[in-house]
Structure 1
Amino acid sequence: MLKQLVIEQIALIERLELSFHDNLAVITGETGAGKSIILDSLGLVLGERADSGLIRAGQERAIVAARFAPPEDHPAWHWLQSKDLDLGEEEIFLRRVLTSKGRGRALINETPVPVATLAELGNLLVDIHGQHDHQSLVHPKAHLEILDAFGCNSELAQKSAQKYVAWHKTQKELEALREKAQDAADRRAFLAFQLEELESAAIQPNEAEELEQQRSRLAHASRLAEAAHEAKQLLNDSEHAAASLTGQAASTLESASRMDSELESIAEAIRSLQYELDDVGERVGSYLNQLDTDPSALQVLEERLDTIHRLARKHRREPDELVELTNQWRADLNALDNLEGNEAGLVKELAAHDAAYRKVADKLSTARRKASEKLSKEVEVQLKDLYMQGTRVAVSLTPRTRDALHPRGMEEAEFLVSANPGEPLKPLRQVASGGELARLMLALKSVLADAVTVPTLIFDEVDVGVGGRVASAIGSKLGRVASNRQVLAITHLPQVAAHGAHHYKVEKSVEKKRTTSSMLLLNSDQRLEELARMLAGDEITDEARSNAQAMLDKAANSH
């Protein structure tokens, strides 16, 4: 349940700290006093979309914080554990921060989270029913969701949707494959022709780069040979070759080292240098031996490079990309050759997904039929308490086309109503008035209350369009719904407000030329005055107080 709500710098609210309790709490106040601001603030901390325009004028930021204490076995605790968020001790703390620059933060137990994550948890903790929610009843798209919530079929419906997604994905793959097969013959002929040319060229990885290096070597073969020959002479093959002179120097110092041992290390270093020069000389000799100076070799190499560059220009690729292109086209050609086998595999896979979907969807259909019968009966019982005796309710389940799979199952649902005895059942959108829709919504919420695990329900003026004894019946119904969970109801009707176990009043005041909204938990005397005001208007009379007290007494006896 919601234990505490703190609002700072939101619209007309400077700072407001509210504590809430079990059972039914009613919130009243004149139009424009700020009741909607309270609800908007709670929506923010539950992850609804933020608007920097909500920040109080002249302020840089606004904060809304809420403290919840769900039952020990509530799904919210398992959700927190699955998200690796701090479980806290016995309470869950949510906080939302808005800034005038559009930046903001969302926190769960002081851990920053995305707003979408905050909304996930918020949906587990609070269910808000606005004054226009009953209008959704006229749209059949909402009826299937209501039916599944009542029958606890949401998990089965989700599984059905998942099976549909798998089937639909495979169907799209099969359609794409068949479309591709229509162009396969032309594509196959094109690839075969292009591949024949590329494969006959037999281009190797990095071949163009290596050939460029060889071409440079062949083009300058004479100069390279002269340079290498001269170097060989200077190193090894002349009278005064470097290796020979270095050897002589080493021998001289080796002889002298017998007279002074300090020369040994110098002699060793010079001898080592001689060996290195000998080795380098051999390498220069090997280079000379393998250096190709044949002009015909250069012509062959030029022709090979021309072939590679011609193919690169033709296919608009870099020379070193031709090998990859060859491999890709070879794979594409193999894939085209395997189209028939791939199609057979997808057809088999699609049939398996179809069977899996229908197996789940059939179970869902059976569960929906059972739930529809039970829902109709229970809603009719609730409507009797709301002075709609004789009203008949049914849920029409219309099968979809058998061949057309659908993510929401194999049938559509629509609520049918007969508000008067003897009248046929008709779609809800054709027969129900605004007041009847409000009562139908409340009846459904009363029935659904036991089917959902949300510990806090909030009703925002669901009594719109009714009055008198019907309003009193709505208040009584809200009180019964609140017998096993926390319910907050915003209302303009004293007949509804009289049924609250706790009564809050929202009022607006002006201080220092600044308007501020506040909310106060009323004591018994204050509550009597507020109900009298709601009955009589600005001028509260003793008669209004007497009627308010009678209303309170009647409400107390009805629970």
Structure 2
Amino acid sequence: MLAELAIKNFAIIESISISFQKGFTVLTGETGAGKSIIIDAIHLLIGGRGSSDFVRHGEEKAEIEGLFLVEDDHPSIEKLAVFGIEMEDGMIVLKRDMYASGKSVCRINGKLVTIATLREIGRTLVDIHGQHENQELMDEKNHLTLLDQFGGQAVQKALTEYQTLYREYEKIKKDIAALTQNEQLMAQRLDLLTFQLEEITNAELTIGEDEELLTEKRKLNNFEKLYHSILTAYEALQGEQKGLDWVSLALSNIEEAAGIDEAYNDTRQIISNSFYQLEDVVHSLRSQLDEMEFDPNRLNEIETRLNEINQLKRKYGQTIEMILEYASKIEEEIEMISNKENHIESLNKKLKSVEKDLAVEGKNLTDLRKKTAKKLAHAIHQQLKSLYMEKTVFHVYFLEQSQKFYPNGMDQVEFYMSTNPGEPPKPLTKIASGGELSRIMLALKTIFSSHQGITSIIFDEVDTGVSGRVAQAIGEKIYQISVGSQVLSITHLPQVAAMSDHHILIKKEVKGNRTKTILSKLTEEGRIGELARMISGAQITTATEQHAKEMLQSAAELKNTLS
């Protein structure tokens, strides 16, 4: 959910910071107080198109920042990982600065991002719906996805099985296309691969060879220092009055002491073991010194070999293992090109087999979707009935076409509706009436909000053009949506405001010849006064206040039955 929102120097907003809670929050106030400006700011925060006109007059930049709290399985988390953005304790902070010069700077959890990235993340967090704004539910490209979401695990399982076969189907088609391309290009490709394979094969690479050569090269490059170090160690141990001689003297004396007092036997044993170990070391050092010989020719051989290996690494892989894997891969491709006719025939047979299986999976998916479409239509009819649109007909239209495979199945669907008896269903995007459109969108939101995983849903005056019992029904529907998702709504209807869990009043005041917007959370008493204003306008009477109290009481009782 959207937990905190801070706005500074944005339009007529000088500086505001407000906390939001779960459930249903309404924002009300006089016309021109700045209600829609709040929504504009949130729209920009999630990647909407900005303008320098939003910057408060006389200021360098406008700043908008929002803190969102998400669950561990929220879809935004996977997207953050894709963009390399870290998240802690389920918190996502979006920030956008709009400069008077027109420049825009975006950040997610402190990391600079593009507007496209901000939009990609923002769309998983907030869904803003205004009466005249094209939203996800109004875009027919999203209807198939929404239908699948409503279908649940059964449809998702069938879709996964279809997509597994579809990927195999596309790979086979790609392999066939590669083998049937221009003969001249194929001949050139074969020559290139043959040359590469010969170059790698002739090098006779051995795994780990480069590491061994580098170790030997380091020894040769430091031969003089190595020889001197070993010689010094040897001379420090071997010879009269040297280390081994002194240890021998110590051993002789401690043996004499142990002959007198057995308490020194352990010490004698330790010195004795050390003496014989040091003798072995001295003999080993002597042998190494005798065998050490600097060979400049060997160093040149190593340099040449390492250079050859590095050349191959630059062409075919970062390690010898990767070079050999590449050689194995192109060897298979050479064999395939050399015997392409046989391979094409084999691939075509395989393609036909996969096509049959894909058609079966596709038909199964289509059948499940059509069953789901009927259930969805019934569910939406029930929702519309509660919004006094019982004569509206909703239909999921499957476009008829020849058998064709798409990444998500063999279907193309679009939501159709008819709001008047006797009229044929039309695409959802062509429904014109503002009041009808608001109710249809609320019905769809009620159905899909639990499937979309959106953190916050914002309604910007979607109740325009309705009144009376329809207004009451819209308030109830928005409250139902808020049970599964945080909902913020700008409204002028007291029936809708009464159904809210939290009420924020927006007003503007003039101070120092400047206008600014102020937000305040209303108490129970404050809500009564604001509802009374919304009912009667400027003249608030005892009767309107009593009416407001009754509306809040009725709403509380209704919410208990809806929860």
Query: For residues 10-62 of structure 1, what are the alpha-carbon distances to aligned partners after superposition, in whole Å with 9 as ceiling and x for unaligned?
Result: 11111110100111001122333222221121122223333333222222222
Cα distance, 1:464 vs structure 2: 2.4
Cα distance, 1:476 vs structure 2: 0.9
Aligned to 1:96, what secondary structure does the other structure show? strand
Q: Output the aligned Cα RMSD.
A: 3.8
For 2:53 and 2:157, the matched residues in 1 are separated by 39
Aligned amino acid, residue 511 of structure 2 = E
Summarize the Cα distance change of 1:29–1:363 in structure 2 as closer, same or farther, 3 Å threshold. farther
Summarize the Cα distance change of 1:84–1:412 in structure 2 as closer, same or farther, 3 Å threshold. closer
Aligned amino acid, residue 94 of structure 2 = L
Cα distance, 1:145 vs structure 2: 4.0
Equivalent residue, structure 1, for 2:326: none
Q: Name which of structure 1's ranges 364-373 and 466-475 shifts more when overlaid on structure 2.
A: 364-373
Equivalent residue, structure 2, for 1:150: 150
Cα distance, 1:553 vs structure 2: 2.1
1:524 matched to 2:524? The reply is yes
1:117 matched to 2:109? The reply is no
For 2:22 and 2:139, the matched residues in 1 are separated by 33
Q: Tell me if the contact between 1:55 and 1:99 (Cα under 8 Å) persists in the aligned partners.
A: yes
Summarize the Cα distance change of 1:172–1:511 in structure 2 as closer, same or farther, 3 Å threshold. farther
Summarize the Cα distance change of 1:343–1:138 in structure 2 as closer, same or farther, 3 Å threshold. same
- For normalisation by structure 2, the TM-score amounts to 0.62
Equivalent residue, structure 1, for 2:273: none
Cα distance, 1:487 vs structure 2: 1.0
Q: How does 1:454-469 map to 2 (within 5 A)?
A: 454-469=454-469
- For normalisation by structure 1, the TM-score amounts to 0.63
User: 4+ residue stretches of structure 1 with deviation over 6 A?
Assistant: 134-139, 154-179, 335-343
Q: How does 1:483-502 map to 2 (within 5 A)?
A: 483-502=483-502
Task: Please identify the structure whose Cα radius of gyration is greater.
Answer: 1
For 1:336 and 1:405, the matched residues in 2 are separated by 28
Equivalent residue, structure 2, for 1:396: 397
Q: Name which of structure 1's ranges 443-452 and 453-462 shifts more when overlaid on structure 2.
A: 453-462
Q: Tell me if the contact between 2:435 and 2:465 (Cα under 8 Å) persists in the aligned partners.
A: yes
Aligned amino acid, residue 57 of structure 2 = A
Structure 2: gaps spanning 5 or more residues: 189-335
Equivalent residue, structure 2, for 1:249: none
Aligned amino acid, residue 387 of structure 2 = L
Equivalent residue, structure 2, for 1:3: 3
Q: Tell me if the contact between 1:416 and 1:428 (Cα under 8 Å) persists in the aligned partners.
A: yes
Summarize the Cα distance change of 1:141–1:114 in structure 2 as closer, same or farther, 3 Å threshold. closer
Aligned to 1:87, what secondary structure does the other structure show? coil
For 1:144 and 1:80, the matched residues in 2 are separated by 25
Aligned amino acid, residue 148 of structure 1 = D
Cα distance, 1:146 vs structure 2: 3.3
Summarize the Cα distance change of 1:557–1:438 in structure 2 as closer, same or farther, 3 Å threshold. same
Q: Tell me if the contact between 1:138 and 1:428 (Cα under 8 Å) persists in the aligned partners.
A: no
For 2:514 and 2:172, the matched residues in 1 are separated by 63
For 2:443 and 2:384, the matched residues in 1 are separated by 6
Equivalent residue, structure 2, for 1:435: 435
- Aligned identity (percent) is 38
Equivalent residue, structure 2, for 1:205: none
Equivalent residue, structure 2, for 1:509: 509
For 1:15 and 1:162, the matched residues in 2 are separated by 52
For 1:457 and 1:395, the matched residues in 2 are separated by 24
Cα distance, 1:100 vs structure 2: 2.8
Q: Tell me if the contact between 1:134 and 1:437 (Cα under 8 Å) persists in the aligned partners.
A: no
Equivalent residue, structure 1, for 2:98: 98
Q: Tell me if the contact between 2:68 and 2:93 (Cα under 8 Å) persists in the aligned partners.
A: yes
For 1:449 and 1:130, the matched residues in 2 are separated by 16
Equivalent residue, structure 2, for 1:426: 425
Q: Name which of structure 1's ranges 167-176 and 79-88 shifts more when overlaid on structure 2.
A: 167-176
Aligned amino acid, residue 25 of structure 2 = A
Aligned to 2:451, what secondary structure does the other structure show? coil
Aligned to 2:56, what secondary structure does the other structure show? coil
Cα distance, 1:68 vs structure 2: 1.6
Summarize the Cα distance change of 1:138–1:46 in structure 2 as closer, same or farther, 3 Å threshold. closer
For 2:440 and 2:91, the matched residues in 1 are separated by 35
For 1:353 and 1:146, the matched residues in 2 are separated by 28
Query: For residues 193-239 of structure 1, what are the alpha-carbon distances to aligned partners after superposition, in whole Å with 9 as ceiling and x for unaligned?
Result: xxxxxxxxxxxxxxxxxxxxxxxxxxxxxxxxxxxxxxxxxxxxxxx
Q: Tell me if the contact between 2:128 and 2:457 (Cα under 8 Å) persists in the aligned partners.
A: yes
For 2:8 and 2:92, the matched residues in 1 are separated by 19
For 2:462 and 2:106, the matched residues in 1 are separated by 30
For 1:545 and 1:494, the matched residues in 2 are separated by 12
Cα distance, 1:67 vs structure 2: 1.1
Give the length in aligned residue pairs: 411
Equivalent residue, structure 1, for 2:385: 384
Summarize the Cα distance change of 1:78–1:342 in structure 2 as closer, same or farther, 3 Å threshold. closer
For 1:54 and 1:352, the matched residues in 2 are separated by 59
For 2:472 and 2:15, the matched residues in 1 are separated by 34
Aligned amino acid, residue 537 of structure 1 = G
Cα distance, 1:465 vs structure 2: 2.3
Q: Name which of structure 1's ranges 9-18 and 168-177 shifts more when overlaid on structure 2.
A: 168-177
Cα distance, 1:349 vs structure 2: 7.6
Summarize the Cα distance change of 1:490–1:524 in structure 2 as closer, same or farther, 3 Å threshold. same
For 1:69 and 1:371, the matched residues in 2 are separated by 32
Query: For residues 240-287 of structure 1, what are the alpha-carbon distances to aligned partners after superposition, in whole Å with 9 as ceiling and x for unaligned?
Result: xxxxxxxxxxxxxxxxxxxxxxxxxxxxxxxxxxxxxxxxxxxxxxxx
Summarize the Cα distance change of 1:354–1:538 in structure 2 as closer, same or farther, 3 Å threshold. farther
Cα distance, 1:121 vs structure 2: 2.5
Cα distance, 1:431 vs structure 2: 7.3
Equivalent residue, structure 2, for 1:323: none
Summarize the Cα distance change of 1:94–1:154 in structure 2 as closer, same or farther, 3 Å threshold. farther
For 1:360 and 1:124, the matched residues in 2 are separated by 30
Aligned amino acid, residue 427 of structure 1 = K
For 2:14 and 2:156, the matched residues in 1 are separated by 42
1:65 matched to 2:65? The reply is yes
Aligned to 2:484, what secondary structure does the other structure show? coil
Q: Tell me if the contact between 1:67 and 1:93 (Cα under 8 Å) persists in the aligned partners.
A: yes
Q: Tell me if the contact between 1:392 and 1:425 (Cα under 8 Å) persists in the aligned partners.
A: no
